[in-house]
Amino acid sequence: MWKRQKIQEVLRLLKSRVSLVFFLTTLLGVLAFPNVNFAEAAYGFLVPLTLFAASKPSRKTYLKTAFCSSLVLWVCLLYWLYHVTWAGFIIVLFLAFLAGLFYLAWFIALRWVVGRVWHASFIKRTCGFLGLAGLWVLLEWCRTFFLGGVLWLPLAATQWERPAMLQIAAWTGAYGISFLIVLCNLWIARACLPLVNAYRDGSRGFLGRVSPEFYAAFALIFINAFIFMKLTPWGQERESLFEVGIVQPDTPAELKWNTASARENIAVLAEYSHQLAAQAPDFILWPEAATPFPMYGGSVTLTPWIVPLVDELNTPIVLGNLTFGEDSKHAYNAIFLVEPDTGVASPYYSKIQCVPFGEYVPFPKIFGILGKVVPLPIDILPGRTLELIPFEARGKRVNLGGLICYEDIFPGLARSAARLGADCLVVVTNDAWFGQSAAAYQHASHSVLRAVETRRPVIRCGNNGWSGWIDEYGVVRHIVTDNKGQINFRGTGVLSVERVKAFAGLPSFYVRHGDWFVCLSACFVAIALFLGLRERQE
């Protein structure tokens, strides 16, 4: 009896229009993003709020529903931050609140535009919807500059397992994918109007009154799929680039900087590197900050140990590791190449985009009380220049473009590496801070976007996963797993990385021209604003 009453209460709650909009928006958003990966839900998660805005609710009710939907969605997406420290959940709420505020601006614009073009001609509606999609792009672009950069999970990331929907990123960047998803949501919502009216009037004849937005939305999806089929990798000539041995030491986050555990950590790295060297890869790759000892500076350094190890293995090692600055109080998070006979190569790449609240605290006078969510003993300084990592593989020179930790969420860094001549992008990271959660998959989704944008293969090496490689079309070619198919484990893997010959040495349109689509989106916003203001005057 008690259960039946509870079910009836839930059903009564869902019959409320506000509750239904909140529930569907949050649910579809969670389903669309990794690690659920129901990518198709992304094309409908804005539909309930759009229809709600068109029904002309009170401003207060609408804004509360929109903001709460966004807030709960981001809490669900970022929940894994609670694994790090006691302050992790506070950071989750803080970042979710900021994301909710960012997109509240879009929801306000949605209500304003829908109120003016919902019943206008198809051309006027399309101009208004283009402006809304463009505004979404501008908000995602602005997030790259806020608090040192918090561009985690752009809407395009929902499509990371749908290569057919990703190819436009080679011209527009990932922003173009987000734009099309938002536009499809708006068109689908408008196409649902006959269904909503028929349901309200008790009519069954809505199928004969399908709006042109229905066909426009499916045309967009079809065009994306056609581009993928036109550029399909099947039949294109490929060449082997190199073989790389991946080491996942799976060092627990709480022991990462514990010097008492350093001996065991180094022994694991050496043991697995010996196993990989027997398979003769072109180089071995270790994850971010693989050891607690700095490469340079400090009383104990890694150099006297790593150089003899590489000579013994007779195999180059590319590793993520810290190195101290001149004052020994600050460090750089870097990627080094250590080669047999010649030792540590110079120059090395120092991480340019440091993690706010992870490697440093932005605006310490304001947010200093929160501190860092990861217990790093020192602050990390940003590097000044982007350096490639060149080495010889199979008789040819290969340039690696390094990206450390969450740097792969910034399209500008990957684009700069490709412009400098990177043949392949290498991401070293440590997602063990966040447990065995969706964080590793969410992180990997950004690497897929960078691969398509730059038309360069991307290799990833994580402390405990996600490790693998992605080709130039955003197709995940290999994931390093254990014998149970799990990504989170201690062990090794060997990746045979290839590239499409047609892309070798050639920058993509996006690499050449950058974020031109952001400017185009701003133009769409201006046109929609002009039409909306003129509609109001009339």
Does the structure show a pLDDT above 50 at 394?
yes
CA distances from 396 to 391, 522, 530 (A): 8, 44, 56
**Rounded mean pLDDT of 31-52?**
93
pLDDT tens digits along 154-176: 999 999 999 989 999 999 999 99
User: Using CA atoms, how far apart are residues 423 and 501, in angstroms rounded to an integer?
Assistant: 11
More confident residue, 227 or 357: 227
Q: In what order do the strands lie in the sheet with 458-462?
A: 388-393, 396-404, 424-429, 458-462, 468-470, 476-479
Predicted confidence at residue 156, as pLDDT, reads: 96
Report whether 471 contacts 167 (CB < 8 A). Answer: no
Element (H, E) at 510: helix 509-513
480 within 8 A of 248, measured Cβ to Cβ = yes
DSSP state of 473: T
Segment 88-92 mean pLDDT: 71
What's the pLDDT score for residue 490?
A: 93
Q: Do the beta carbons of residue 345 and residue 361 sit within 8 Å? A: no
Are 419 and 382 in contact by the 8 Å Cβ rule? The answer is: no
Residue-wise pLDDT tens digits, 253-302: 666 666 667 788 888 999 999 999 999 999 999 999 888 888 988 777 88
Q: Nearest Cα to 169, choosing from 511, 520, 535? A: 511
What is the pLDDT, as a whole number, of residue 252? 79
- Stretch 428-437: mean pLDDT: 80
Domains within the chain, CATH numbers bracketed: 2-232+517-537 (no CATH), 238-507 (3.60.110.10)
- pLDDT given at position 231: 65
Q: Most confidently modeled of 62-71, 351-360, 510-519?
A: 510-519
Confidence grade of residue 12 (pLDDT, cut at 50, 70, 90) = low
Segment 425-440 shows an average pLDDT of 85
Is pLDDT above 90 for 526?
yes
CA dist 298 and 480 (Å) reads 34
Residue 177 pLDDT greater than 70, yes or no: yes
Q: What is the mean pLDDT of residues 244-261?
A: 79
Residue 368: per-residue pLDDT: 52
Q: Is the pLDDT of residue 392 over 60?
A: yes
Is residue 430 within 8 Å of 463, Cβ to Cβ?
yes
Q: What is the mean pLDDT of residues 477-482?
A: 95
Residue (of 211, 187, 217) closest to 198 by Cα position: 211
- Cα–chain-centroid distance for residue 465? 15
Determine which of 45-59, 124-138, 281-295, 381-395 has the lowest per-residue pLDDT on average.
381-395
pLDDT for the residue 414: 96
Q: What is the largest CA-CA distance in the chain?
A: 81
The answer to whether the CB of 250 falls within 8 A of the CB of 493 is no
pLDDT at residue 20, rounded to an integer: 87
Q: What pLDDT shows up at residue 145? A: 78
* Contact status, residue 142 vs residue 481, Cβ threshold 8 Å: no
Q: Would you state the structure tokens that stand for residue 288, as one six-digit string? A: 């971010």
How confident is the model over 99-133, as pLDDT tens digits? 888 889 999 999 999 988 888 888 888 899 999 99
CB atoms within 10 A of CB 96: 21
Tokens of 311: 């000579």
Q: Report the pLDDT value the prediction gives residue 226, as an integer from 0 to 100.
A: 76
Determine the distance from the C-alpha atom of residue 327 to the mean position of all C-alpha atoms in its chain, rounded to a whole number. 34
pLDDT band at 537 (very low <50, low <70, confident <90, very high): very low
CA dihedral of 525, 527, 529, 530, whole degrees rounded to 10: 160
Residue 390 confidence (pLDDT): 92
In the numeric block, the tokens 């283009």 are attached to: 130
pLDDT band at 14 (very low <50, low <70, confident <90, very high): very low
Tokens for 484?
């149970």
Mean residue pLDDT across the chain: 85
One-letter amino acid of 226: F
Mean pLDDT is lowest, of 185-199, 225-239, 326-340, for 225-239
The answer on pLDDT for 521 being more than 80 is: yes
3-state SS class at 212? helix
Residues 6+ apart with CB under 8 A from 425: 400, 401, 402, 403, 408, 414, 417, 418, 447, 450, 451, 454, 456, 457, 458, 459
pLDDT value of position 88? 63
Three-state DSSP state, 229: helix
For residue 35, is the peptide bond before it cis, meaning its omega torsion is within 30 degrees of 0? yes
Q: Which residue has the higher pLDDT, 366 or 227?
A: 227
Lowest mean pLDDT among 351-355, 407-411, 441-445: 351-355
Beta bridge mates, 495: 244
- Residue 171 CA to residue 292 CA, distance in Å, equals 41
For 210-221, give one letter per residue: b (16+ CB within 10 A) or e: eeebeebbeebb
Q: What is the mean pLDDT of residues 63-77?
A: 92
Q: In 57-173, which ranges are continuous DSSP H helix? A: 59-77, 88-117, 122-143, 169-172
pLDDT of residue 180: 94
Q: How is the chain split among helix, strand and coil, in percent rounded to 5?
A: 55, 15, 30
| Per-residue confidence (pLDDT) for residue 122, from 0 to 100 | 85
pLDDT category of residue 93 using cuts at 50, 70 and 90: confident
Specify the pLDDT at position 367. Answer: 55
Q: What span, in angstroms and rounded, lies between the C-alpha atoms of 519 and 514? A: 10
Residue 329 has pLDDT above 70, yes or no: no
For residue 13, the model assigns a pLDDT of 47
